């Protein structure tokens, strides 16, 4: 809104650029133009600052006014929970820090304190902000979130559905759900979140942990570093921006997911670039593709996709939008890629790579995301594909969803080049002749059109 | 004129809340997304709390807090260098300087005027003009519920914003 008479003649183009930018709907070309105008013209900058003031006031009203919340047709999403929690940030900070000096923490059995709640639907007994949390206390949420301050100075925000247990004044157990933790005080060094399959030990940082009831867990370091431990694996120090996951069961697996350099070199922090010497590139491996949900008589792969053979040619994509070197399924289906390795071999690791960024079509950045489950079969190819109820004779090896690892909640935060590496706890992932990649569209959000990953390469290692 | 005494820790919450809107405006002017604003304000509030002893007067809280917001925003932007919608450093410097020079009192007046004008819009107009600030997908839901396209709704939002602008200008003119 224009609140200054001297700006009454603001050109329509500038007004639209500013409003679209503030509404996060401005495309790259418009952004370049807006930046150009703002750099050259101080009156335009004043108008931009005026419009920013109005937008922030309106956003404040939209978020905080009960009438706006009640009018919302969308039930609270993670983002909205965050919106509602964040205005409490200052108050929470005061409370968290004040609690360190509270007499409650002088009691040895009190490990933490409840700082705040947000839209919390409790399954365990309801607690109010300020409640002391004794060691052994379990907090179970159906939805919403709670903020916990440990007496060590660490804080954790638990998002439901979740079950979280206070284990000590510097340690919690996430049975399932999500925990966002900050441990940047000297006294909170070594702050630990345990899950059914893993232990994450803070080294002065902030990190997000997720755990599923079936034991699967993953952790993403936002800043600093975290040591990740799981039975059968050597301890790994995970740096900021990287994540790790663990599958449990008879054959525990570790899933590393990393952001690439966005160059043809495919540089990743620890995962090597695509290989031309892996088993799939050097042996007579055959591949078939299929799909579920495909309209009749249409092929499973997208019309402009390269043949599936590009996944084993040892060559990476040449640029950020290179369909000729990418294999990708037709949108809105579940795709299957079956590798026949010709004989049963001990598979020691699997690497997958993707790269895509189309800056003029933001929804197309969805094609960098990898969402798949990899399955194996030893000697005979099962006749069907697995579904939610039936594995159809396949053995699940590991699951990957890179958006979850990177905590993507808006387009700009999604890495355009990604790699995933699946490693076993023991010597191999198992002995398999057949590997099945069940590839899902990269989003099931109804607001985002379903897209499929631009896969660059799938490397299968046997030694 | 006498300066106010140094703020106490117990004053922090009131001081921060009193200026939170101004801090958010400053952050939004420099940052490409609302999510980034939330992150930066969250971090900045903790930094302010920790460094409050640096202040020798409550009067200085707003300009001092803005400096904290600016440095926190710049730090955040360094981690987002691949985001194609981040302003370049020269423009950020311009905007920082000009924002810090603005009259702090204008924000309160604008907030009052905008709130008053918003209440005169009617339920549908109010819901529409607030919809871009209610999370990703909200506008799509509104469009689906009303059987219209997003673009058509957005054009209507632009028209309502223009009406709001006229109303606010009128309000501020009347008040001055």
What is the pLDDT, as a whole number, of residue B53?
Answer: 80
pLDDT in tens, B105-155: 788 899 999 999 988 888 888 888 998 887 767 778 778 877 888 888 888
In this structure, of A17-26, A91-100, A258-267, the range with the lowest mean pLDDT score is A91-100
Whether residue A280 has pLDDT greater than 80: yes
- The interface predicted TM-score of the complex, written ipTM, equals 0.93
Per the CB < 8 Å rule, is B33 touching A410? yes
A48 neighbourhood in chain B, CB within 8 Å: 29, 95
Phi-psi domain of A414 (left: phi exceeds 0; alpha: psi -120 through 50; beta: other): beta
Pair A301, A308: CB distance under 8 Å: yes
Per the CB < 8 Å rule, is A1 touching B142? no
What is the pLDDT, as a whole number, of residue A402?
Answer: 84
B110 neighbourhood in chain A, CB within 8 Å: 3, 53-54, 57
What is the pLDDT, as a whole number, of residue A72?
Answer: 32
Cα separation values, A34 from A30, A31, A39, A439, B98, Å: 6, 5, 9, 39, 17
With cut-offs at 50, 70 and 90, classify the pLDDT of residue A51. Answer: very high
A49 neighbourhood in chain B, CB within 8 Å: 25, 29, 95, 98-99, 102
Distance (Å, rounded) from C-alpha A58 to C-alpha A65? 10
With cut-offs at 50, 70 and 90, classify the pLDDT of residue A209. Answer: very high
Tokens coding A423: 């490693």
pLDDT in tens, A159-168: 989 999 999 9
A409 neighbourhood in chain B, CB within 8 Å: 35, 136
B141 neighbourhood in chain A, CB within 8 Å: 73-74
- Closest partner residue to B145 (CB to CB) among A62, A73, A359 is A73
Mutation site, B108, B128, B134, B145, interface A, largest A CB count within 10 A: B134
Distance (Å, rounded) from C-alpha B171 to C-alpha A195? 57
Closest residue in A to B33 (Cα) is A24
What is the pLDDT, as a whole number, of residue A226?
Answer: 92
In this structure, of A51-60, A131-140, A439-448, B128-137, the range with the lowest mean pLDDT score is A439-448
Distance (Å, rounded) from C-alpha A261 to C-alpha A259? 7
Looking at mean pLDDT, say which of A312-316, A364-368, B172-176 comes out highest: A312-316
Per the DSSP assignment, residues forming a β-bridge with A339 are: A287, A435
pLDDT average, residue stretch A207-236? 88
CB atoms within 10 A of CB A9: 7
What is the pLDDT, as a whole number, of residue A456?
Answer: 96
Comparing A128 with B42, the larger pLDDT belongs to A128
Pair A202, A190: CB distance under 8 Å: yes
What is the pLDDT, as a whole number, of residue B36?
Answer: 87
Per the CB < 8 Å rule, is B98 touching A49? yes
Instruction: List strands edge to edge, sheet with A334-347.
Output: A286-292, A334-347, A430-439, A371-377, A395-401
Element (DSSP H or E) covering residue A71: helix A66-71
* B74-85 CB burial, b ≥16 within 10 A, e <16: eebbeeeeebeb
What is the pLDDT, as a whole number, of residue A91?
Answer: 40
What is the pLDDT, as a whole number, of residue A376?
Answer: 96
DSSP reduced 3-state for B127: helix
With cut-offs at 50, 70 and 90, classify the pLDDT of residue A6. Answer: very low
Whether residue A83 has pLDDT greater than 50: no
Q: How far is A230 from chain B (nearest CA, A)?
A: 29
What is the DSSP pairing of strand A349-355 with strand A417-424?
A: antiparallel
User: Which residues numbered 32-91 in B keep a CB inside 8 Å of some CB on A?
Assistant: 32-35, 38, 41-42, 45-46, 49, 80, 82-85, 87-88, 90-91
Whether residue B17 has pLDDT greater than 60: yes
Contacts of residue A218, Cβ cutoff 8 Å, sequence gap at least 6: A209, A210, A243, A244, A245, A246, A255, A404, A405
Distance (Å, rounded) from C-alpha A31 to C-alpha A204? 37
Looking at residue A414, what DSSP letter applies? Answer: S
Provide φ and ψ at A421, rounded to 5°: -130, 130
Per the CB < 8 Å rule, is B20 touching A74? no
- The answer, as to whether pTM is greater than 0.80, is no
pLDDT in tens, A323-339: 889 999 987 789 999 99
Cβ-in-10-Å burial (0-12, 13-18, 19+) of A389 comes to exposed
DSSP reduced 3-state for A319: coil
């Amino acid at each position: 809104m224009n609140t200054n008479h001297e700006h009454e003649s603001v050109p329509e183009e500038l007004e639209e650029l500013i409003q679209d930018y503030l509404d996060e709907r401005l495309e790259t070309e418009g952004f370049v133009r807006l930046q150009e105008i703002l750099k050259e013209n101080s009156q335009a900058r004043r108008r931009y600052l005026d419009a920013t003031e109005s937008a922030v006031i309106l956003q404040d009203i939209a978020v905080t006014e009960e009438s706006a919340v009640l009018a919302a047709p969308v039930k609270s999403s993670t983002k909205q929970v965050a919106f509602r929690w964040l205005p409490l940030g200052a108050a929470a900070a005061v409370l968290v820090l004040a609690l360190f000096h509270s007499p409650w923490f002088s009691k040895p059995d009190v490990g933490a304190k409840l700082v705040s709640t947000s839209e919390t639907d409790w399954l365990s007994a309801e607690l109010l902000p300020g409640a002391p949390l004794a060691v052994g206390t379990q907090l179970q949420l159906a939805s919403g979130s709670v903020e916990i301050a440990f007496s060590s100075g660490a804080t954790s925000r638990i998002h439901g559905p979740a079950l979280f247990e206070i284990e000590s004044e510097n340690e919690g157990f996430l049975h399932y759900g999500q925990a966002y933790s900050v441990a940047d005080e000297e006294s909170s060094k070594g702050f630990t979140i345990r899950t059914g399959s893993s232990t994450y030990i803070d080294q002065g940082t902030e990190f997000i942990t997720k755990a599923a009831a079936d034991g699967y867990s993953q952790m993403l370091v936002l800043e600093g570093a975290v040591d990740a431990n799981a039975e059968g694996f050597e301890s790994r120090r995970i740096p900021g921006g990287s994540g790790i996951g663990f599958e449990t069961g008879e054959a525990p697996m570790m899933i590393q997911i990393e952001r690439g350099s966005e160059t043809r070199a495919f540089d990743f922090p620890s995962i090597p670039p695509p290989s031309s010497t892996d088993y799939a590139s050097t042996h007579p491996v055959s591949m078939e593709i299929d799909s579920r949900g495909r309209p009749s008589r249409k092929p499973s792969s997208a019309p402009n996709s390269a043949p599936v053979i590009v996944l084993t040619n040892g060559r990476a994509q040449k640029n950020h939008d290179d369909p000729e070197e990418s294999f990708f399924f037709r949108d809105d289906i579940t795709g299957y890629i079956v590798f026949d390795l010709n004989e049963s071999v001990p598979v020691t690791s699997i690497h997958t790579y993707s790269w895509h960024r189309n800056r003029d079509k933001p929804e197309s950045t969805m094609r960098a995301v990898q969402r798949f489950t990899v399955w194996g079969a030893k000697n005979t190819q099962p006749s069907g594909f697995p579904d939610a109820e039936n594995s159809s004779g396949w053995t699940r090896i590991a699951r990957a969803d890179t958006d979850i690892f990177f905590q993507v909640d808006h387009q700009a935060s999604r890495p355009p080049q990604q790699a995933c590496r699946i490693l076993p706890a023991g010597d191999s992932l198992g002995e398999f002749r057949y590997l099945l990649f069940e590839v899902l569209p990269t989003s099931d959000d109804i607001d985002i059109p379903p897209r499929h990953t631009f896969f660059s390469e799938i490397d299968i290692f046997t030694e | 004129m006498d300066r106010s005494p140094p703020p106490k820790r117990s004053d922090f919450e009131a001081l921060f809340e009193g200026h939170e809107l101004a801090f958010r405006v400053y952050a939004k002017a420099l940052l490409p997304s609302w999510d980034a604003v939330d992150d930066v304000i969250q971090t900045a509030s903790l930094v302010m709390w920790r460094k409050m002893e640096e202040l020798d007067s409550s009067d200085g809280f707003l300009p001092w807090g803005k400096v904290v917001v600016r440095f926190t925003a710049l730090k955040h932007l360094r981690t987002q260098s691949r985001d194609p919608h981040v302003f370049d450093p020269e423009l950020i410097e311009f905007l920082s300087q000009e924002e810090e020079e603005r009259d702090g009192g204008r924000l309160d007046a604008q907030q009052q005027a905008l709130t008053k004008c918003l209440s005169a819009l009617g339920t549908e107009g109010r819901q529409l003009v607030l919809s871009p600030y209610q999370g990703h997908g909200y506008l799509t839901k509104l469009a689906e519920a009303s059987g219209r396209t997003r673009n058509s709704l957005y054009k209507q939002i632009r028209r309502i914003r223009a009406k709001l602008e006229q109303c606010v200008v009128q309000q501020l003119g009347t008040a001055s």
